[in-house]
Amino acid sequence: MPRCTRTFVLLAVVLSPCLAAQAGPPGPAPELKRLEPLLGSWAGSGTAKLGPGEPSKWTARGSYRWCLDGQFLQEDFEIVFEGRPAPMVFRAYLGWDREHARYVNVSVNNGGAAQLHEFHWLDDGTMLQVMHQHQDGLPYAERTRSRIVGEAMTLSIDLLMPEGSSQQILDGTLTRTASVFEIDWDAKAWAGAIPATELQLLARSAGTYDVKGAMVMMPGAPEVAITGTDTFRSVFGDTIFHGHTRGAAEGVPGEYVGEVFWSFDAVRKCLVGVYVSNFGEVMSMDAWWADDGQLVSTFAGTMRGQPLAQRMRMSFDDKGRAKDAVSHTLMGTMAPFESFRATYTAK
């Protein structure tokens, strides 16, 4: 149980070169078969040391199921820590990042974190994830190890803080159960997490929108009409902003489905979004509020091995509802071009 989308409204720019270049969504990557032993429901317990004093007990329940047309294994878990008023709740997507040939974990939790990390497999079947984190502005490393042996899954989490040796903060065992677990999006914030002002501003755009626009794959290419529906809501005590996209592009078979989760990074002082889709896409992007009230989101990385940089400007009305957007792309040696524009109508 490792720790804990691109949407038309907030980063549809990336849709342009990817969706138009394919004849519909690709099938699930064969590497995903390695995740099959996780399928099903789990429950268990163990000990945790979350502060000074003696270790306390924890109990957990959760499930793994395929989602987004089999492109990701969806992980939903709740952990109840002895003496804590609210449980810790996770939603994660385990998948295969084709662009970088790696296993990835896209996760959000009610502590207000939205993150993308890679994980690895050890020779004995252990799933290993090492994450670079921050607490009160100080960096630390978090290592999570889980392994299935028969009908049981062992779990341990260790921290390496700025000073001292590493310390185990959680260990225990989960076993398979017949109980069906559904995540509670209305769960209270963990440890009193309070949403940042920047996230509260974004939350004003909550609602459902009809989206109409056009995208362009490269300079000089014909426009492709797009239509879709975006639905946004605040979850986990308003510490996470969730978006769900369903859409279609003219001439491209199949429906496009995406999930995005936005949080606020207190260290980098920006909004951070993580994204997955039924095309197997996975990414992380950043966003800032401009002085004129527009939201500027950016992504930099590669697409099909070519360097890619993208920017979207999103405008809102006086009530905070989305109005329109335009995005520009730099890809490879191509000239900069407008890759997306759209208008949004609140339902």
User: pLDDT digit string (tens) for 107-147?
Assistant: 999 999 999 999 999 999 999 999 999 887 789 999 999 99
Question: Quick one: pLDDT at residue 202?
Answer: 97
Half-sphere exposure of 78 (CA within 13 A, CB side): 16
pTM of the model: 0.92
Q: Is residue 174 part of a domain?
A: yes
Question: Quick one: pLDDT at residue 13?
Answer: 37
Question: Quick one: pLDDT at residue 225?
Answer: 94
Question: Quick one: pLDDT at residue 235?
Answer: 98
Same domain, yes or no, for 177 and 249?
no
Looking at 161, 184, 207, which one is the last position of a domain? 184
Same domain, yes or no, for 139 and 169?
yes
Counted domains in the chain: 2
Same domain, yes or no, for 109 and 45?
yes
Looking at 130, 153, 184, which one is the last position of a domain? 184
Task: Provide the residue range defining the domain that includes 247.
Answer: 8-26+192-346
| Residue pLDDT, tens place only, 209-240 | 999 999 998 898 999 999 999 999 999 999 99
Same domain, yes or no, for 92 and 213?
no
Residue range 42-69: mean pLDDT, rounded: 93
Same domain, yes or no, for 138 and 39?
yes
Question: Quick one: pLDDT at residue 50?
Answer: 80
Residue range 251-276: mean pLDDT, rounded: 93
Q: Which residue pairs from 97-100 have beta carbons closer than 8 angstroms and sit at least 24 positions apart in sequence? A: 97/282, 98/26, 98/29, 98/280, 99/301, 99/302, 99/303, 99/304, 99/305, 100/302
Q: Is residue 331 part of a domain?
A: yes
Question: Quick one: pLDDT at residue 303?
Answer: 83
Name the average pLDDT for the chain. 91
Strand residues in 29-109 grouped as ranges (E): 40-48, 56-67, 72-81, 88-97, 102-109
Same domain, yes or no, for 36 and 101?
yes
Q: Residue 19: is its pLDDT beyond 70? A: no
Phi and psi of 11, rounded to 5°?
A: -155, 45
Same domain, yes or no, for 35 and 22?
no
Same domain, yes or no, for 180 and 222?
no
Same domain, yes or no, for 36 and 172?
yes
Residue range 276-280: mean pLDDT, rounded: 94
**Which residue, 199, 273, 279, is CA-closest to 234?**
199
Q: Residue 25: is its pLDDT beyond 80? A: no
Same domain, yes or no, for 148 and 66?
yes
Q: Is residue 153 part of a domain?
A: yes
The CATH number for 263's domain is 2.40.128.20
Same domain, yes or no, for 21 and 59?
no
Q: Residue 308: is its pLDDT beyond 50? A: yes
Q: Residue 94: is its pLDDT beyond 50? A: yes
Looking at 184, 215, 235, which one is the last position of a domain? 184
Share of the chain above pLDDT 70, in %: 93
